[in-house]
Amino acid sequence: MTFRKRKKQHPLPPVEETAGTFTIVDGEDYLDEIFENDMRISRSFSHFQLSEEEYKENYGRVIRELSATGEHKFFVAIDRYGRYLGHVWICLKIDTVDFVPSAYILDIETLFPRIGIGGALLNRAEEWAHEMGAKKVSLRVDLKNPARTWYAKKGYSERAVIMEKLL
C-alpha cells in the first residue's frame, strides 16, 4: 500500500506585504473578522475604564442595538488571498433631523493606513448608499480624531456636535 504524498502547502506571504493590491467586496462573509477587529479597536475610544467582561458584554449590546433598525451593509477590503484588510459598516435610515433617506457610516477601519483602503471603502459605501436612494451620508467622529480632516478632504462638512455631561 502506498500513500500519495501530500503536496506541500506554501505559506502565504505576510498580509503586510500583500495589502497594497486590495479589492473591495461584499462583507457579509467576513462578519467574524469585522467584529473581531472592531471590538479590539473600538475600546481605545472609550473614555471609561471597563473590565474585559463588562466591555465585551456592552460591546455586544451596542452591536445588537445598532443592528435592530435600518438596512445594513458591509464591505471589506481583501488582499489577493482573500484576507481581511479593513471594512466599512453602513446603515440606511430616515435621518432624524432632515427626514430624508440617509446613510450612516457606523464604522470604517483598516489594518494598514496610507495605502488607500479607507478611501476605497468609503467610496464603495457612498456608491451603495446612492444606489439605494440615500440623499446624504452622515457619520460621527470624535473632536480630536485625525479622521476629522480626512473626512473633510473627502467632501464631508460639519453639521452638528455631540455634547455630553458626566453624571
Q: Which helix or strand (DSSP H or E) is residue 152 part of?
A: helix 147-153
Q: Is 146 in the site for a copy of itself (CB under 8 A)?
A: no
Distance of CA 80 to the CA centre of its chain: 20
Which of 31, 71, 98, 113 touches a copy of itself by CB under 8 A? 98
Least Cα distance to 128 among 105, 153, 155 occurs for 105
**CB of residue 132 to a copy of itself, shortest distance in Å:** 10
Name residues contacting a copy of itself, limited to 31-60 (CB under 8 A): 42-43, 45-48, 50, 54-55, 58-59
Q: Is 143 in the site for a copy of itself (CB under 8 A)?
A: yes
> With respect to a copy of itself, which residue has the nearer C-beta, 12 or 152?
152
**CB of residue 91 to a copy of itself, shortest distance in Å:** 11
Q: Is 105 exposed, middle or buried (0-12, 13-18, 19+ CB in 10 A)?
A: buried
> With respect to a copy of itself, which residue has the nearer C-beta, 56 or 80?
56
Which of 11, 96, 114, 153 touches a copy of itself by CB under 8 A? 96
Which of 11, 65, 146, 153 touches a copy of itself by CB under 8 A? 65
Please report the DSSP string for 23-63 in residue order.
EEEE-GGGHHHHHHHHHHHHGGG-SS---HHHHHHHHHHHH
Give how many residues touch a copy of itself by CB under 8 A.
Answer: 57
The region of 71-79, 81-89, 112-120, 143-151 touching a copy of itself under the rule CB under 8 A is 143-151
Give the full edge-to-edge strand order of the sheet including 23-26: 23-26, 71-78, 84-94, 101-110
Give the number of residues written for the chain.
167
Contact 106, 66 (CB under 8 A): yes
Q: Which residues bind a copy of itself (CB under 8 A)?
A: 42-43, 45-48, 50, 54-55, 58-59, 61-62, 65-66, 68-70, 93-100, 103, 126, 129-130, 134-143, 148, 151-152, 154-167
